[in-house]
Amino acid sequence: SADEYGDFTASGLVEICVGATKSAFASDVQFDTTGSRIERRNVDPEWLVLVPAQTAGFAGEAQCTIGGSPTSPDIGLSSASIERLPEEQIQKLIDGKNEGGDR
């Protein structure tokens, strides 16, 4: 549905995350935008966006938390990782439990 991601579209969220993390990856990075995962979080920023990324031989991932609006996005976390997040870690991010600490 059109409001599945609030004012955002899935592709819009993915583009914001790629834009926020691209410069932190090696220049050879390739994003697999079709393999992206978007989860609604229980805290703000509302959206967790995970975009698979191939870089320097690693199967990595762009990891972002995004809120606000498409014209004025609020980016919380933006991480360029050379590893994919394990499911347990993803659930903690959805619950807002491990940003900037181990809570």
Beta strand residue intervals within the chain, DSSP E:
30-31, 37-40, 47-55, 58-68, 73-81
Residue 70: is the preceding peptide bond cis (ω within 30°)? no
Task: Delimit the domains of the chain by residue range.
Answer: 10-94
- Report CA torsion sign: 30, 24, 15, 84: positive
User: What is the reported pTM?
Assistant: 0.91
Dist. CA 45–CA 30, nearest whole Å: 26
State pLDDT tens for residues 46-89: 999 999 999 989 999 999 999 999 999 999 999 999 999 999 99
Dist. CA 18–CA 40, nearest whole Å: 18
